[in-house]
Amino acid sequence: MNDMKMNGMETIDPVWAWQPYQPSADQTWDRRSAAHLFRRAGFGTDLARIDESVKRSPADVVGELVAGNQEPSEFRSTAEALAEATLAGGDPAKLSAAWVYRLLYTPNQLLEKTTLLWHGHFSTGAEKVQDARMMWNQNQLLRDHALGDFAAMVHEISQDPAMLIYLDSAINRKAHPNENFARELMELFCLGEGNYSEADVLELARCFTGWEIKNKKFRKNRYQHDSDEKNVLGQTGAFDGEDGVRIVLEQPAAPLFVARKLVRFFVCDEPSPSDAMLQPLADLFRESDLQVAPVVQRILGSNVFFSSMSVAQKIKSPVELVIGMLRSLKATTNAGLVADGLLSIGQGLFYPPNVKGWDGGRAWINSSTLLGRANLMADILDNDSTRFDGKSLSEYLRGQDVETTDQAIEYFEHCLLAVRLSEEAKAQLRETAASHSGDRERRMRSLLHAVTSLPVCQLC
Amino acid sequence: MQISTNQSRRRFLRSSIGGAAAIGVGANLPSCFAQAASGSGGSDERILVVVQMSGGNDGLNTIVPYADDDYRSARPKLAIPSDEVLTFDDDNGFHPSMTGMHELLQDGQFAAVRSVGYEQPNRSHFESMDIWHTCRRKDEPRPDGWLGRFLDQQPVTAGGDVPALHLGREQQPAAVASSSIRVPTVKELSEFQLRGNDKQSLRKLLEKRQPTSTAGDNQLLNFLQSSTTSAIAASQRVTEAAQGYRSEVKYPETDLGNKLRVVAQLIDAGLTTRIYYVQHDGFDTHAQQAQTHSILLRQWSDAVSALVRDLDDHDHEKRVCVMTFSEFGRRVSENASAGTDHGAAGPMFLCGGGVKAGITGKRPNLTDLQEGDLKHEYDFRQVYASVLKDWLGTDPTPILGKQYKSLSLFA
């Protein structure tokens, strides 16, 4: 929103932007760029994996990340078994912790990150749906298609009980078409405001008449379907809901709208790229029959992704901050603590703020969430269940040959920060560390708390 | 949009009741705060409290044209029975939930403007809310909000109190976005301070700007740094300001009631903050509207009237005005789910000892509609212009982008 300075996104050549990144003297493939890739394509990884990736080509590493587009069945069954226990209780609030488990342990970070993207995109809140299993089923739907077929995802979400309940569209009668789902399908899911008229909303709503949720299941009530002719986005026919979704997805605005979302999610918060900049991605998305993976692969392997227009040009979401710290240090902790903490700082899983999902970027940040971020880190680092590769933090760091305060500052910088610390900033951290009493473990945890609370650590 | 009924939010409400009292007193009072805390009264400048009804409030069931037959025929299920309406003249009255507002009107502390909206109404929640917040349409640049632009014009008091405060767990409204000032969002006073073993040293670390090699050209980092230093400063002041507040008025134990009680505490503590902003969510009543809307209006009416009473008791009634708005009204005809869909014009409300009590605007014409919605009689910027000029004492034109004819809303 604020004093937005051009960072070049408007002026760069769209062709160059999306061409494959070739490491060069200006843009080296090193720890920093590899860590950037892992932070954006997931939540972050430990230094050993970063160093191992630097020895391979960036395209190779990106290819491997994108190829992990389905969960290994073993991991899925463990995650499911854990979720079943919470589903039995029926409390959707507990589901957040089940998702945190996935975020902490998944071998497919890009798949999980993209699932989180779609959760915000097809925003649905458990607060209103009040049914844990419906929310969980929707989450699986999003995961199944996260790096797959966007059209299939939209078709399924249009019949998803949680979504339709969330949008007050569980009943949709011929005499009174419900506009809500039709409007959000165009405004928020596929086209964006301005790419349809109010008349299109009314006509599209007629296509969905008779679609309802009965006994927690989707069904088509043919007695309530308006089978007359409709005029939707310039097409005329006796359309039903599937036709309606198809027509919306056929609009030229659709691939551009989704490309914009993907670029904002993976590349930078601001400024918003021009249509011309996005067009190559939109074209690729259309040519790939709206498959998500090719576009994501193109983005993550591109010149612009590894340029200064992207590195450190996003503000970490709460999930990126917390899960990022944990995964970068091979840490595990109490999933419930993380889930509740994420809600308190603005990103409750299964609890997006409204139908638009999370705005992200600067909207993550205000005095309250900044204090909350620091406090959540304090809670996690004070918690006995927080272990680093099964060890205490000081033992873990010792295993990485990190003994002194200076070495720890440098280690955390490599793992957690998108921007190098200046000498003065390091001196301030040293001073802060020196003021801490307590044993080595206590001091290392305090230092980690300080680093994660710095403004610079909120950058991704 | 969701209705606020989840358990964690309810828990939050309950816990925040004791929250303010539970805050420990810092040993040292920052010097910038000493004046206010010593009871010298701080500022006597006027204050605006904004209450945002999110989701689109059904204006026709708020100020009810109960004698209008067209109202009854458009609302077979949802029309408020005539004998339940809290009448204020022969044709119009309040929703039965609004006893608090009804009493305020009788006491000369309530004003409403009917049929407020704008040309070519947008029926998207977000777009319409953005229009209300920024006073600009989508095709214009919107880097700031109308209150943010007001704040930009105010003299800067270095190290002073925050010029505006957003209370709540929602995202910060664009209305308070400013190019020069970061408005803090406070969810709950007890959460608005650092905790943990190392909080002292961490506060010292974060209250200074950290130099980095690249901060100069990374706008996001600049933003994060100034947000962090202002968060630490605001945390100190706000926490200390809320100490020792006593009130005879019983606020409703709701999210809004708690937030407005905190507003009263901060005002009475002498903070020089001039704008408080709170949101009251859940008005997107597409289905089964009657009960939800009744609860929401009661929560609003009870909480705002409690605030006004409390300010009366503490002799602040002449300097505080509470303004309520929503991003749009709702469709005149109810839908098949006993709800109403997104509409256009709706009423705005002003409460407090400084308002010229009464109702401005004609009874809405339910037969002359645009796409099933009420046409507006007043542009919302006319109300803003009145508030800016006659209440906050500033020239509205540069803030609103052009001249709007103000209304006579203040005594």
| Secondary structure (H, E, C), A239-287 | CCHHHHHHHHHHCCHHHHHHHHHHHHHHCCCCCCCCHHHHHHHHHHHHH
CA A424 to chain centre: 34
- pLDDT in the model for residue B161: 72
The pLDDT tens digits of the residues spanning A19-75 come to 999 999 888 999 999 999 999 999 999 999 999 999 999 999 999 999 999 999 999
Q: How far apart are CA A199 and CA B48, in angstroms?
A: 39
Q: pLDDT tier at A88 (50, 70, 90 boundaries)?
A: confident
User: Mean pLDDT throughout A427-431?
Assistant: 92
Window from A213-222, B121-130, B240-249 with minimum mean pLDDT: B240-249
pLDDT at B314 over 50: yes
Distance CA A46, CA B409 (A): 62
Query: Residue A355: closest CA among chain B residues belongs to which residue?
Result: B1
- pLDDT band at residue B209, thresholds of 50, 70 and 90? confident
Residue B291 exposed, middle or buried by CB count within 10 Å (0-12, 13-18, 19+)? exposed
Predicted pLDDT at A9 = 67
Question: What's the rounded mean pLDDT across residues A346-373?
Answer: 90
Cβ–Cβ gap A455/B1 under 8 Å: no
Alpha-helical regions (H) of B178-218: 199-207
Chain-chain contact of A176 with B337 (C-beta, under 8 angstroms): yes
Q: DSSP H helical segments within B76-166, as ranges?
A: 99-106, 125-134, 146-153
pLDDT digits (tens, 9 = 90+) for A375-388: 999 999 999 999 99
Q: How many A/B residue pairs have CB atoms within 8 Å? A: 224
Q: Which pLDDT tens digit goes with each residue over A103-148?
A: 999 999 999 999 999 999 999 999 889 899 999 999 999 999 999 9
B194 and A375 within 8 Å at the Cβ level: the answer is yes
Q: CB–CB of B201 and A356 under 8 A?
A: no
pTM: 0.78
Interface test with A, best of B205, B262, B286 (most A CBs within 10 A): B205
Q: At A71, which amino acid appears? A: E
Q: How many CB atoms sit inside 10 A of residue A275's CB?
A: 13
- Does the beta carbon of B8 lie under 8 angstroms from any beta carbon of chain A? yes
- Give the pLDDT of residue B213: 57
Q: Among all chains, which residue has been given the structure tokens 């190290």?
A: B159
* Token duo for residue B224: 């994060």
Considering only the beta carbons, identify the residue of A180, A187, A365 that sits closest to B224. A365
> Which of B3, B196, B208 is the closest to A378 by Cβ?
B196
pLDDT tens digits, one per residue of B328-372 = 999 999 999 999 999 999 999 999 999 999 999 999 999 999 999
For range B193-212, the mean pLDDT:
84
Centre a 10 Å sphere on the Cβ of residue B405 and count the other Cβ atoms it contains.
10
Cross-chain residue pair B185–A356, CB shorter than 8 Å: no
Q: What is the rounded distance in angstroms from the CA atom of residue B94 to the CA atom of residue B302?
A: 13
Sign (positive or negative) of CA dihedral A35, A38, A43, A44: negative
pLDDT of residue A217: 96
- Cβ neighbours around B187 below 10 Å, total: 25
The pLDDT value recorded for residue B211 is 64
B187: confidence class by pLDDT, cuts 50, 70, 90? confident
CB contacts under 8 A, B 227-256 vs A, are 227-228, 230-232, 234-235
Q: With beta carbons under 8 A apart, name residues in chain A contacting B201.
A: 432, 435-436, 446, 450
Q: Which residue has the higher pLDDT, A291 or B216?
A: A291
Calculate mean pLDDT across residues A412-438.
Answer: 91
Residue for token digits 């809670």?
A379
CA B257 to chain centre: 12
The stretch A295-299 carries a mean pLDDT of 98
Contact B213 A419 (CB under 8 A): yes
Q: Given an 8 Å threshold on Cβ–Cβ distance, is B337 in contact with A429?
A: no
Query: CA-CA distance, A200 to A187, in Å (whole number)?
Result: 11
Report the pLDDT averaged over residues A184-210.
96
Specify the length of chain A in residues: 460
- pLDDT band for position B214 (cuts 50, 70, 90): low
Nearest C-alpha in B relative to A163: B1
- The ipTM value here is 0.94
Distance of CA A363 to the CA centre of its chain: 15
How far is B7 from B30, CA to CA, in rounded Å? Answer: 38
As a whole number, mean pLDDT of residues A165-178 equals: 91
pLDDT top residue among B236 and B131? B131
Identify the band that residue B35 occupies on the pLDDT scale cut at 50, 70 and 90. Answer: very low
Q: What's the pLDDT score for residue B42?
A: 47
8 Å CB contact of A449 and B202? yes
Residue A137 pLDDT: 96
What is the distance in angstroms between the Cα of B44 and the nearest Cα belonging to chain A?
A: 26
pLDDT at A16 over 70: yes
**Closest chain A residue to B336, measured at CA:** A176
Q: Give residue B27's pLDDT band: very low, low, confident or very high (50, 70, 90).
A: very low
